[in-house]
Amino acid sequence: MSMLRRLIPAMRIWLTLLVVWALYLAAGGSLSYENTPWLLTVGCWMCLDLCWTLAPLGAQPAVGVSMSRLGALVLAIIPHALYCLPLTGVPILGQRLIPRLSALEMVGVVMCVVGVGLAMWARCVIAKNWSGTITIPSQHTLVQQGPYAIVRHPIYLGLLLSQAGMILALGELRGLVFVLGIERLLRKTIEEDIVLRTAYPVEYGPYERRVKRLVPWIW
């Protein structure tokens, strides 16, 4: 029951999207084989949200700089609606940004699957050390194993990879909604490095020199 109490509120956006989809199909809307890559990436996104909902939460209250709750809410709702709803026929939003090429769309799907898998793996490894804000929980430890031995911010790398793949898989102008998310994620890597340097003045320096920020062995 406790898991259900966590799951239902967190998945309200997806439940709302499913209702909209049901109304769309009931009104005579349809899907084609060409929609498959896009729908696969939508499924990946839903799996990612489920992982975040069911993953361990921080056991201790976090202390630090948090991002605006309103900003977080807007960033959650707008991309879900723009990307996941059948808006291909909407002027401007459904405008093709990338030529429809099956091979390119499948590359996007693979990028999304790999990115989501990496983010979920990293989220499971960091477990209760994770925080949705740029904070250091009171019993936080510096995780350096698993995907954190490859890059310092594997969750962000996974999200960036999946978002780029989603833009390719959809190929429409509305997919550019993720550009804002990409900029925010890149900024957060810098901000988190600053916080972690302060929290771990002895450990973080060697870790930072040994492991790259986002691109293994490069950057």
Question: Is 73 contained in some domain?
Answer: yes
Bridge partners of 135, per DSSP, are: 64
Average pLDDT over residues 20-31: 93
pLDDT for 12: 82
CA-closest candidate to residue 46, choices 54, 58, 34, 57: 54
Question: Is 77 contained in some domain?
Answer: yes
Question: What stretches of the chain show up as alpha helix (H) in DSSP?
Answer: 2-10, 12-26, 36-54, 69-84, 102-126, 154-170, 177-199, 204-210
Question: Is 217 contained in some domain?
Answer: no
As a 3-state breakdown, the chain gives helix, strand, coil percent values, each rounded to 5, of 65, 5, 30
Q: What CATH number does residue 69 fall under?
A: 1.20.120.1630
Q: How confident is the model at residue 60 (pLDDT cuts 50, 70, 90)?
A: very low
Question: Is 6 contained in some domain?
Answer: yes
> 152-164: per-residue pLDDT in tens?
999 999 999 999 9
* Number of domains into which the chain is organized: 1
Q: How confident is the model at residue 96 (pLDDT cuts 50, 70, 90)?
A: very high
Question: Is 216 contained in some domain?
Answer: no
CB atoms within 10 A of CB 41: 29
- Domain range for 97 is 2-210
Are 105 and 169 contacting, i.e. CB atoms less than 8 angstroms apart?
A: yes
Question: Is 215 contained in some domain?
Answer: no
pLDDT for 67: 46
Which sign does the torsion angle of CA 141, 145, 149, 154 carry? Answer: negative
Question: Is 98 contained in some domain?
Answer: yes
Q: How confident is the model at residue 43 (pLDDT cuts 50, 70, 90)?
A: very high
CA-closest candidate to residue 147, choices 163, 136, 160, 158: 158
The answer to whether residue 72 scores a pLDDT higher than 50 is yes
Phi, psi of 136 (to 5 degrees): -120, 105
Question: Is 55 contained in some domain?
Answer: yes
